[in-house]
Amino acid sequence: MTSQQSELLVSSDPSVTISSSTNVSIFLTKSLESTKNVGSINFSKTQKGRDLLMMNGYSYTLNKEAKVQYYWRCETRFCSATLITTRNISTGGHSISTEGEIHHLHAPSIAKQEIRVFRAQVKRRVREELTPVALLIEQEIEKDKFIFRGTATINTSTTYDRERHKCIPNIPQSLDFIIPHMYTLTRGFERFLLNDKTTVSGGRLLIFSSNTQLDELFKSSYVFCDGTFSTVPLIFNQLYTFHGYRKNEGIKLNIIYCRQINSCSDSSI
Protein backbone atom coordinates (compact mmCIF):
# COMPACT_ATOMS: atom_id res chain seq x y z
CA MET A 1 0.00 0.00 0.00
CA THR A 2 1.35 3.38 -0.98
CA SER A 3 1.12 6.06 1.70
CA GLN A 4 0.18 9.64 0.85
CA GLN A 5 0.96 12.93 2.47
CA SER A 6 -1.52 15.81 2.19
CA GLU A 7 0.03 19.20 1.45
CA LEU A 8 -0.87 22.49 3.07
CA LEU A 9 -0.32 25.44 0.77
CA VAL A 10 1.20 28.51 2.41
CA SER A 11 0.75 31.97 0.91
CA SER A 12 3.84 33.55 -0.62
CA ASP A 13 2.69 36.92 0.76
CA PRO A 14 4.75 37.52 3.95
CA SER A 15 1.93 39.61 5.43
CA VAL A 16 -0.37 36.60 5.41
CA THR A 17 0.52 34.78 8.61
CA ILE A 18 -2.23 32.15 8.66
CA SER A 19 -3.03 29.33 6.25
CA SER A 20 -5.92 29.80 3.85
CA SER A 21 -7.59 26.63 5.17
CA THR A 22 -8.02 25.73 8.82
CA ASN A 23 -9.22 22.16 8.30
CA VAL A 24 -6.54 20.47 6.24
CA SER A 25 -5.72 16.96 7.39
CA ILE A 26 -2.02 16.23 7.59
CA PHE A 27 -0.78 12.67 7.63
CA LEU A 28 2.45 11.77 9.39
CA THR A 29 4.31 9.01 7.59
CA LYS A 30 6.12 6.65 9.97
CA SER A 31 6.85 4.05 7.29
CA LEU A 32 5.73 2.98 3.83
CA GLU A 33 3.20 0.63 5.42
CA SER A 34 1.50 2.88 8.00
CA THR A 35 0.19 6.41 8.39
CA LYS A 36 -1.10 8.34 11.41
CA ASN A 37 -3.62 11.20 11.32
CA VAL A 38 -2.16 14.11 13.26
CA GLY A 39 -4.97 16.63 12.73
CA SER A 40 -5.19 20.11 11.23
CA ILE A 41 -2.28 22.50 10.93
CA ASN A 42 -1.96 26.29 10.80
CA PHE A 43 0.94 28.66 10.23
CA SER A 44 1.23 31.98 12.03
CA LYS A 45 3.83 34.28 13.60
CA THR A 46 4.99 34.76 17.17
CA GLN A 47 4.96 38.21 18.76
CA LYS A 48 8.63 38.50 17.85
CA GLY A 49 7.94 37.63 14.22
CA ARG A 50 9.20 34.03 14.21
CA ASP A 51 7.46 31.43 12.05
CA LEU A 52 4.99 29.36 14.05
CA LEU A 53 3.40 25.99 13.27
CA MET A 54 0.29 24.99 15.24
CA MET A 55 -1.11 21.47 15.31
CA ASN A 56 -3.21 19.37 17.71
CA GLY A 57 -3.03 22.00 20.44
CA TYR A 58 0.77 22.23 20.30
CA SER A 59 2.79 25.12 18.87
CA TYR A 60 6.24 24.89 17.29
CA THR A 61 8.67 27.63 16.31
CA LEU A 62 11.00 27.30 13.34
CA ASN A 63 14.39 26.22 14.63
CA LYS A 64 16.28 25.98 11.34
CA GLU A 65 15.83 25.19 7.67
CA ALA A 66 18.01 23.35 5.18
CA LYS A 67 16.97 23.44 1.52
CA VAL A 68 13.43 21.98 1.58
CA GLN A 69 13.57 20.67 5.16
CA TYR A 70 12.14 22.79 7.99
CA TYR A 71 12.92 21.86 11.59
CA TRP A 72 10.42 22.90 14.27
CA ARG A 73 10.68 22.78 18.05
CA CYS A 74 7.92 23.11 20.66
CA GLU A 75 7.72 26.73 21.78
CA THR A 76 7.02 25.74 25.40
CA ARG A 77 10.13 26.24 27.48
CA PHE A 78 11.96 23.04 28.52
CA CYS A 79 9.88 20.93 26.08
CA SER A 80 12.08 19.35 23.39
CA ALA A 81 9.40 17.87 21.13
CA THR A 82 10.17 18.45 17.43
CA LEU A 83 8.69 18.21 13.94
CA ILE A 84 10.16 18.25 10.45
CA THR A 85 8.26 19.55 7.43
CA THR A 86 9.17 19.31 3.77
CA ARG A 87 8.49 22.13 1.33
CA ASN A 88 7.29 21.28 -2.16
CA ILE A 89 9.48 23.28 -4.55
CA SER A 90 6.80 23.41 -7.25
CA THR A 91 3.87 24.58 -5.12
CA GLY A 92 5.60 26.11 -2.09
CA GLY A 93 3.38 23.96 0.11
CA HIS A 94 4.49 22.14 3.26
CA SER A 95 3.86 18.59 4.47
CA ILE A 96 4.81 16.85 7.70
CA SER A 97 7.63 14.41 6.97
CA THR A 98 8.58 13.14 10.43
CA GLU A 99 8.03 13.67 14.13
CA GLY A 100 10.71 13.62 16.80
CA GLU A 101 10.96 10.74 19.24
CA ILE A 102 10.74 13.07 22.27
CA HIS A 103 7.16 13.51 23.49
CA HIS A 104 5.67 16.73 24.83
CA LEU A 105 6.08 17.34 28.56
CA HIS A 106 2.76 19.19 28.79
CA ALA A 107 -0.86 18.80 27.76
CA PRO A 108 -2.11 20.38 24.52
CA SER A 109 -4.41 23.41 24.55
CA ILE A 110 -6.80 23.36 21.60
CA ALA A 111 -8.80 26.36 22.88
CA LYS A 112 -5.69 28.50 23.32
CA GLN A 113 -4.50 27.57 19.86
CA GLU A 114 -7.85 28.36 18.23
CA ILE A 115 -7.89 31.81 19.83
CA ARG A 116 -4.35 32.36 18.59
CA VAL A 117 -5.44 31.45 15.06
CA PHE A 118 -8.42 33.79 15.42
CA ARG A 119 -6.20 36.71 16.45
CA ALA A 120 -3.83 36.08 13.55
CA GLN A 121 -6.76 36.04 11.14
CA VAL A 122 -8.11 39.33 12.52
CA LYS A 123 -4.68 40.98 12.31
CA ARG A 124 -4.30 39.82 8.70
CA ARG A 125 -7.67 41.34 7.74
CA VAL A 126 -6.92 44.54 9.67
CA ARG A 127 -3.75 44.99 7.60
CA GLU A 128 -5.33 44.11 4.25
CA GLU A 129 -8.83 45.62 4.50
CA LEU A 130 -10.50 48.90 5.40
CA THR A 131 -13.45 47.23 7.14
CA PRO A 132 -14.05 48.97 10.52
CA VAL A 133 -12.13 47.05 13.18
CA ALA A 134 -15.15 46.47 15.45
CA LEU A 135 -17.21 45.09 12.55
CA LEU A 136 -14.31 42.94 11.37
CA ILE A 137 -13.97 41.36 14.83
CA GLU A 138 -17.72 40.66 14.97
CA GLN A 139 -17.56 38.95 11.56
CA GLU A 140 -14.71 36.67 12.63
CA ILE A 141 -16.43 35.79 15.92
CA GLU A 142 -19.62 34.96 14.03
CA LYS A 143 -17.70 32.62 11.72
CA ASP A 144 -15.91 30.82 14.57
CA LYS A 145 -18.25 31.39 17.50
CA PHE A 146 -17.84 27.77 18.62
CA ILE A 147 -14.24 28.59 19.52
CA PHE A 148 -15.23 31.01 22.26
CA ARG A 149 -17.56 28.78 24.25
CA GLY A 150 -16.12 28.58 27.74
CA THR A 151 -12.95 30.45 26.82
CA ALA A 152 -11.58 33.72 28.18
CA THR A 153 -12.49 36.99 26.50
CA ILE A 154 -10.44 37.95 23.47
CA ASN A 155 -8.46 41.13 22.92
CA THR A 156 -10.42 44.35 22.72
CA SER A 157 -10.32 46.30 19.48
CA THR A 158 -7.59 48.58 20.89
CA THR A 159 -4.86 46.10 19.93
CA TYR A 160 -6.18 45.84 16.39
CA ASP A 161 -6.72 49.60 16.14
CA ARG A 162 -2.98 50.01 16.69
CA GLU A 163 -2.31 47.43 13.97
CA ARG A 164 -4.60 49.28 11.56
CA HIS A 165 -2.95 52.61 12.41
CA LYS A 166 0.40 51.22 11.23
CA CYS A 167 -1.09 50.66 7.76
CA ILE A 168 -2.88 53.99 7.36
CA PRO A 169 -0.95 56.70 5.47
CA ASN A 170 0.07 59.78 7.43
CA ILE A 171 -2.02 62.94 7.12
CA PRO A 172 -0.64 64.81 4.08
CA GLN A 173 1.30 68.01 4.65
CA SER A 174 1.11 69.52 1.15
CA LEU A 175 -1.45 69.98 -1.64
CA ASP A 176 0.19 67.57 -4.07
CA PHE A 177 -0.33 64.34 -2.11
CA ILE A 178 -1.44 61.22 -3.98
CA ILE A 179 -4.54 59.35 -2.80
CA PRO A 180 -3.84 55.58 -2.66
CA HIS A 181 -6.10 53.67 -5.06
CA MET A 182 -7.70 51.62 -2.28
CA TYR A 183 -9.06 54.84 -0.75
CA THR A 184 -10.80 55.82 -3.99
CA LEU A 185 -13.11 52.77 -3.80
CA THR A 186 -15.72 51.48 -1.37
CA ARG A 187 -15.32 48.15 0.42
CA GLY A 188 -17.38 46.65 -2.41
CA PHE A 189 -14.89 48.07 -4.97
CA GLU A 190 -17.39 50.69 -6.16
CA ARG A 191 -16.12 54.13 -7.18
CA PHE A 192 -15.96 56.46 -4.18
CA LEU A 193 -13.76 59.38 -5.28
CA LEU A 194 -15.98 61.46 -7.60
CA ASN A 195 -13.80 64.53 -8.01
CA ASP A 196 -10.18 65.49 -7.47
CA LYS A 197 -9.45 68.78 -9.22
CA THR A 198 -7.53 71.99 -8.71
CA THR A 199 -9.74 75.00 -7.97
CA VAL A 200 -9.54 78.47 -9.55
CA SER A 201 -7.97 79.83 -6.35
CA GLY A 202 -5.18 77.27 -6.60
CA GLY A 203 -6.56 74.87 -4.01
CA ARG A 204 -7.83 71.35 -4.41
CA LEU A 205 -11.38 69.98 -4.12
CA LEU A 206 -12.07 66.34 -3.22
CA ILE A 207 -15.59 64.90 -3.44
CA PHE A 208 -16.38 61.42 -2.13
CA SER A 209 -19.60 59.49 -2.75
CA SER A 210 -20.59 56.19 -4.34
CA ASN A 211 -23.19 55.66 -7.06
CA THR A 212 -25.36 53.90 -4.49
CA GLN A 213 -25.22 56.92 -2.20
CA LEU A 214 -26.10 59.25 -5.06
CA ASP A 215 -29.12 57.11 -5.91
CA GLU A 216 -30.23 57.42 -2.28
CA LEU A 217 -29.77 61.20 -2.49
CA PHE A 218 -32.12 61.43 -5.46
CA LYS A 219 -34.73 59.38 -3.55
CA SER A 220 -34.55 61.57 -0.46
CA SER A 221 -37.48 63.79 0.57
CA TYR A 222 -35.12 66.43 1.96
CA VAL A 223 -31.43 67.21 1.55
CA PHE A 224 -29.45 68.87 4.36
CA CYS A 225 -26.02 70.45 3.98
CA ASP A 226 -23.46 71.18 6.64
CA GLY A 227 -19.93 72.57 6.65
CA THR A 228 -17.26 72.29 9.33
CA PHE A 229 -13.94 74.05 9.70
CA SER A 230 -12.42 73.37 13.12
CA THR A 231 -12.59 69.55 13.01
CA VAL A 232 -10.64 69.01 9.79
CA PRO A 233 -6.84 68.48 9.61
CA LEU A 234 -4.81 71.66 9.18
CA ILE A 235 -4.17 71.11 5.49
CA PHE A 236 -7.93 71.14 4.80
CA ASN A 237 -9.89 74.38 4.84
CA GLN A 238 -13.35 72.84 5.07
CA LEU A 239 -15.36 69.60 5.16
CA TYR A 240 -18.80 69.94 3.58
CA THR A 241 -21.38 67.15 3.75
CA PHE A 242 -24.76 66.37 2.19
CA HIS A 243 -27.35 64.34 4.10
CA GLY A 244 -30.52 62.80 2.69
CA TYR A 245 -33.72 62.28 4.69
CA ARG A 246 -36.61 59.99 3.78
CA LYS A 247 -39.72 61.43 5.35
CA ASN A 248 -41.91 58.32 5.20
CA GLU A 249 -39.21 55.97 6.50
CA GLY A 250 -37.59 58.31 9.02
CA ILE A 251 -34.12 57.46 7.71
CA LYS A 252 -31.24 59.94 7.60
CA LEU A 253 -28.30 59.09 5.34
CA ASN A 254 -24.84 60.60 4.93
CA ILE A 255 -24.51 60.99 1.17
CA ILE A 256 -21.64 63.20 -0.05
CA TYR A 257 -18.38 64.36 1.55
CA CYS A 258 -16.51 67.35 0.11
CA ARG A 259 -13.06 68.30 1.34
CA GLN A 260 -11.47 71.54 0.26
CA ILE A 261 -7.75 72.22 0.40
CA ASN A 262 -7.05 75.86 -0.27
CA SER A 263 -3.99 77.98 -0.72
CA CYS A 264 -6.28 80.93 0.12
CA SER A 265 -7.84 80.73 3.58
CA ASP A 266 -10.75 83.06 2.68
CA SER A 267 -12.19 80.66 0.12
CA SER A 268 -14.95 78.21 1.03
CA ILE A 269 -17.60 76.01 -0.53
Question: Which is nearest to 214 in space by CA: 256, 169, 265?
Answer: 256
Q: What percent of the chain has pLDDT over 70?
A: 74
Least confidently predicted of 38-47, 99-108, 195-204, 205-214: 38-47
What backbone torsions phi and psi does residue 262 show, to the nearest 5 degrees?
-115, 145
pLDDT value at 5 more than 60: no
Mean pLDDT of 65-71: 85
User: Is the pLDDT assigned to residue 193 strictly greater than 90?
Assistant: yes
pLDDT of residue 86: 81
| Contact assessment for residue 247 and residue 232, using Cβ atoms and an 8 Å cutoff | no
The mean per-residue pLDDT over the stretch 54-75 comes to 86
| CATH 2.20.25.240 holds for 25-108 | yes
Task: Please report the pLDDT score of residue 191 as a whole number.
Answer: 92
Q: Is the pLDDT of residue 179 over 60?
A: yes
Q: Domain boundaries in the chain?
A: 25-108, 111-167, 181-261
Given a cut of 80, whether residue 127 has pLDDT beyond it is yes
What does the DSSP assignment read for 59-127?
A: EEEEEEEETTEEEEEESSTT---EEEEEE-TTT--EEEEEE-SSPPSS---HHHHHHHHHHHHHHHHHH
